[in-house]
Structures are given as C-alpha cells and as structure tokens.
C-alpha cells in the first residue's frame, strides 16, 4: 500500500509543516572576514548550536513517542487513522522537549530534592549565559554604530564616491540583518529553554508553587535607560557647540519642518537660541534648527571610541532564586536587543538620508549644511 500525499487532508499537511518547524535548526550565519564586528556574535553562535541541538533532539524524541502512540490508536481502523497518527506526532513533539529534559534530569538525580537542585543549577547556568550574551550584544551593536559613523565621516568629507559609499552601506546592512536574525533566533531559544525549566520545576515542586513566578515573567516589563546624549545646557546665544553625530539641519524646531542639510559629526555650530528641545544654530552661514540632544559643548572625536546604547535595569542580577533569575534575564535580553536594534537602524537611516542629500544637493554637502 502506498500513501497518496497530495490527497492527504490539509490538517495532515499542516501537521507535517509544524513538525518540520519544531525539528528545525537555527541557522548561524557564516562570518565575513571583512566584518570586524562579527566576533561579538560568538556567545549567540554558541547558544544557537548548544540549545537548538538539545531542544530539537528532545522534540524529535517526543515526536517518535507520539508516532508510536498514534500508531496504536490507528489500529482501531478509523478512516482518519493517518491523520490521528500525524496529530499524535505533533503533540509528542510539542511536549517532547520537556519530557526529554525530565528524562535527562532523572539520569542525574533520583530524588525530588535532587531533581529540583538540578533544574535550579541548569537555570542558573543559563542565566549566566544570557548575561554573557547581553554583554556581547552591547559590544556588537556599539561596533556597528562605529562602523556606520565612520562611513558617515567619509561620506561627509567627500572621500568616497557615491557608488563606493552605497556599496559599503549595503555590506553593513547585510551584516546588521545577519545580526538581527541570529539574535532573534537565539532569544527565541532562550524563551523555549526558560519554559522548559519552568515546566520541569513545576513537576518537582508542590502544585501551584510556580504560578507566581510564571505570572511575574509574563508581566515583567524591563525599564530601558540610556542611549541618548544629554542636551547641552547652553548659557547664552552665540555659544559654540558641536554635533555628536550626523544631524539634520531643519527649517524649524520640529521634525515636520523641511531638511536644509546635514551637520556632520564634530561639526561646529554657533548657538542662536533654544526652544523646546530644539536649538537654533548657524552652520557655515546657514541658519536652522537641530535637535538639542545631538549637541555638546565639548568637541567629540570624529568617531567616538565608545558608544552609549540603551540598556535595561537588570533586576535579574539582584535575584537569588535561579528560576526567577533566568526568567527575568531572558525578558531583559529580549527588550534590550530590541532597543539597541532601534539605535542601529536609526544610524543606518541617517546615513541613507545623508547619501540622498549628497546625491541631490552636493553643494549643500560641500558647505556642511
């Protein structure tokens, strides 16, 4: 007897698709030797290889168990037997990671206290790995910002042709996209891993003991701080200030006003006044407004060696309970990665605007407006 797969019910096909997702691997991008920032991906690459293998193997083991159970059910001769078999495979795969982890735990401990200690030990180790990822994530994104700002400097100084600058930008965009995919995939794995620990912990503790922790995790919203340059406190009109990054010079105090040009990183401006977060300046004879947060009374380096990025207030570092610690650390990693990605994306958008401005109004760029 042969199976006519095209004739399978749609639900069967969907089941096969879900199974393939459950058993799939997180793809680790190959490093480009020209990318000096890629080395900071290392903890994420390691996490992808280690955690994905564990979760996948446990899911496949569960799917095999589900296949056996489904085959037994199929003996009843029901006309939807094949669909029931596949459904059982999916159910087994979904619960297989937890069951596989519990099976591994029992090979390490044979008492309830021992099992609980093992879960807590694994949770603590994973929280430490997540902390390593947060440190590397900040280094990775700071490196990206420096890459982008270095290119901005070359573009502003007209040291590159438009085609060369755009080629470099596309390369950076590709690297950033690889960063984003890897980080998103690995943070997804940390969530799966955390849920597995919670499920295992619930099975070795009193009923309801985990409910409070699970509720805290779901409701926890880490507070993001930093990532912005503090506005300079200008004392009087006519004071000199410097752009901390490439900043838009606008016709009025707000983003709704048209863009007159760009002030490059380190560009010196004469301060004419301030209004609600905006500073009126004169730059090489042209008057306009720039956002005050991108101005400083101290001349910055052409490309700052350090970059301040958004970071969360890490409550996980003050928590002793391993289950709570890993749950909080996992949520903090997700929120921090999203906040820092916004900064990198904004830097890229600013560079793209600079390239467009250069392409259409080269005289303005030559004057630094």
Position 52 in a domain = yes
158/27 same-domain check: yes
54/182 same-domain check: yes
Q: What is the pLDDT of residues 170-186, one digit of tens each?
A: 999 999 999 999 999 99
* Rounded Cα gap, residues 179 and 147, in angstroms: 14
* Kind of pairing between the strands at 268-275 and 259-263: unpaired
284/332 same-domain check: no
Position 47 in a domain = yes
Position 265 in a domain = yes
Q: Which of 64-68, 166-170, 246-250, 268-272 has the highest mean pLDDT?
A: 166-170
204/339 same-domain check: yes
Q: Which residue, 283, 307, 331, sits at the end of a domain?
A: 307
Q: Which residues pair with 273 in a beta bridge?
A: 280
pTM (predicted TM-score) = 0.67
pLDDT of residue 79: 45
CB atoms closer than 10 angstroms to residue 290: 25
Residue whose C-alpha is closest to residue 71's, from 89, 58, 59, 57 = 89
155/274 same-domain check: no
pLDDT of residue 234: 35
Number of structural domains (the chain) is 2
Position 39 in a domain = yes
321/300 same-domain check: no
Position 175 in a domain = yes
Q: Which residue, 251, 284, 307, sits at the end of a domain?
A: 307
- Give 283's pLDDT tier (boundaries 50, 70, 90): confident
Structural domain boundaries enclosing 146: 8-227+311-345
pLDDT at 28 over 60: yes
Position 59 in a domain = yes
Q: What is the pLDDT of residues 323-344, one digit of tens each?
A: 999 999 999 999 999 999 999 9
pLDDT at 23 over 70: no
Find the CATH number of the domain harbouring 298.
2.30.30.40
Question: 282 vs 39, 46, 217, 277, 368, CA distance in Å?
Answer: 42, 51, 50, 17, 11
121/158 same-domain check: yes
Position 127 in a domain = yes
Residue with more model confidence, 53 or 13? 53
155/253 same-domain check: no
Percent of the chain whose pLDDT exceeds 90: 33
Position 355 in a domain = no
252/290 same-domain check: yes
Q: What is the mean pLDDT of residues 200-206?
A: 86
pLDDT of residue 27: 74
Contact between 224 and 339 (Cβ < 8 Å)? yes
pLDDT of residue 232: 34
Q: What average pLDDT does the structure give for the chain?
A: 77
115/145 same-domain check: yes
254/118 same-domain check: no
Burial classification of residue 141, based on how many CB atoms lie within 10 Å of its CB (0-12 exposed, 13-18 middle, 19 or more buried)? buried
Q: Which residue, 253, 283, 307, sits at the end of a domain?
A: 307
Q: What is the mean pLDDT of residues 22-40?
A: 78
pLDDT of residue 66: 53
Q: What is the pLDDT of residues 34-52, one digit of tens each?
A: 899 999 999 999 988 887 7
pLDDT of residue 300: 58
247/300 same-domain check: yes
């Amino acid at each position: 007897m042969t199976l006519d797969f095209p004739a399978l019910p749609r639900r069967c096909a969907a089941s096969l698709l879900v199974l393939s997702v459950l058993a799939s691997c997180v793809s680790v991008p190959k490093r480009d030797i020209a990318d000096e920032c890629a080395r900071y991906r290392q903890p994420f690459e390691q996490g992808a290889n280690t955690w994905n293998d564990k979760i996948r193997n446990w899911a496949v083991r569960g799917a095999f168990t589900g296949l056996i159970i489904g085959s037994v059910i199929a003996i009843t001769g029901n006309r939807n037997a094949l669909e029931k078999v596949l459904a059982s495979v999916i159910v087994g795969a979904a619960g297989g990671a937890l069951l596989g982890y519990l099976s591994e735990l029992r090979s390490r401990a044979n008492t309830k206290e021992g099992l609980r200690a093992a879960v807590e030990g694994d949770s603590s180790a994973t929280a430490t790995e997540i902390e390593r990822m947060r440190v590397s994530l900040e280094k990775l994104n700071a490196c990206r910002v420096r890459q982008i700002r270095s290119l901005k400097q070359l573009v502003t100084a007209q040291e590159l042709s438009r085609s060369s600058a755009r080629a470099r930008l596309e390369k950076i965009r590709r690297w950033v996209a690889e960063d984003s995919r890897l980080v998103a995939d690995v943070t997804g794995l940390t969530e799966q891993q955390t849920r597995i620990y919670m499920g295992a912990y619930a099975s070795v503790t009193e009923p309801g003991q985990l409910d409070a922790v699970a509720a805290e995790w779901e409701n926890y919203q880490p507070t993001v701080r930093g990532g912005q340059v503090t506005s300079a406190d200008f004392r009087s009109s006519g004071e000199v200030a410097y752009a901390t990054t490439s900043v838009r010079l606008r016709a009025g105090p707000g983003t709704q006003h048209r863009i007159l040009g760009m002030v490059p990183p380190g560009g010196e401006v004469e301060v004419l006044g301030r209004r609600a977060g905006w500073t009126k300046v004169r730059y090489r004879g042209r008057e306009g407004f720039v956002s005050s947060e991108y101005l400083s009374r101290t001349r910055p380096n052409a490309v700052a060696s350090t970059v301040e990025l958004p970071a969360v207030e890490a409550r996980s570092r003050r928590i002793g309970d391993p289950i709570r610690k890993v749950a909080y650390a996992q949520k903090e990693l997700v929120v921090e990665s999203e906040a820092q990605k916004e900064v990198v994306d904004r830097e890229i958008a600013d560079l793209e605007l600079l390239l467009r401005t250069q392409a259409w109004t080269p005289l303005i760029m030559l004057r630094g407006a």
